[in-house]
Amino acid sequence: MNQLDPTERFSNRVADYVRYRPDYPPALIAWLHAEMHVGQGARVADIGAGTGISSKMFLDAGHAVVAVEPNAAMREAALEWLDGNAGFSAVDGSAETTTLADASVDLVSSAQSFHWFDEQAVKPEWRRILRPDGLVAIYWNSRRLEGTAFLEGYEKLLHDYGTDYARVSERYYDDAHMLRWFGAGLRGYTRFPHVQELDFDALRGRLLSSSFAPPAGHPRHAPMLAALRELFDATSVDGTVDFAYDTRIFAGTP
């Protein structure tokens, strides 16, 4: 298997992903409603939905959601968490081959996973499943790399102990790339501050949810956790650290 293939690389991290990955700020969906005029009744295709964090955001806002996720373990986690919600369903599909019907959704949502997709192959597929006047929203939490001793120490820890951190981090796109991807179809973009306040156990789980964190049994695993403990003890305030993000969102037609 290609080590950068996302279909299975998160399978052994599902429990930590469910518990410790961040959600998205309420301002994001408010912006989609108010500024991008996404209707309250819009049906959402959540592409690369993972364990359902982004799907839940739309469900809580009253939208019907179909989660499209190729990783079986993550899809099952989303179903276990969200299957009781009216209007929720999940399918085994990819960003490039969703399995959804033509003109069947009003909004394509891509949260945190766009950098894993074939960014050109998704365009005709997403145009196919969108209804007329449909919209694509691509958004993710960008971890801040500097500004506090904790953030700077955490970034160094990932470089020191991550298995393929540099290769994965290089896949995230900057604003200029996203503006080029949307081109004339761009309707708006913005960013919002977001933060997780984590005690040590939550910080440990957040780290281990990352695909580039060496798992138990790897020679870097124990040294990485020891370094994490040292960083936490040196930088925590009242038993927590602030894991800070900028949530970036781009919306338009593909």
SS (H, E, C) the chain: CCCCCHHHHCHHHHHHHHHHCCCCCHHHHHHHHHCCCCCCCCEEEEECCCCCHHHHHHHHCCCEEEEECCCHHHHHHHHHHHCCCCCEEEECCCCCCCCCCCCCEEEEEEECCHHHCCCCCHHHHHHHHEEEEEEEEEEEEEECCCCCHHHHHHHHHHHHHCCCHHHHHCCCCCHHHHHHHHHHHEEEEEEEEEEEEECHHHHHHHHHCCCCCCCCCCCCHHHHHHHHHHHHHHHCECCEEEEEEEEEEEEECC
Q: Quick one: how far is CA 15 from the chain centroid?
A: 15
List the single range of 172-181, 199-208, 217-226 with lowest mean pLDDT.
172-181
pLDDT at 112: 87
Domain 6-252: homologous superfamily in CATH: Vaccinia Virus protein VP39 (3.40.50.150)
pLDDT digits (tens, 9 = 90+) for 4-38: 444 444 444 567 777 888 999 999 999 999 999 99
Average pLDDT over residues 111-121: 90
Nearest to 250 by CA among 174, 171, 145, 169: 174
Would you kindly state where each structural domain of the chain is located, as residue ranges?
Answer: 6-252
End-to-end CA distance of the chain: 30
Average pLDDT over residues 217-224: 96
Dihedral, CA atoms, 244, 68, 77, 43, nearest 10 degrees?
80
Q: What is the pTM of this model?
A: 0.87
Band (93; pLDDT cuts 50, 70, 90): very high
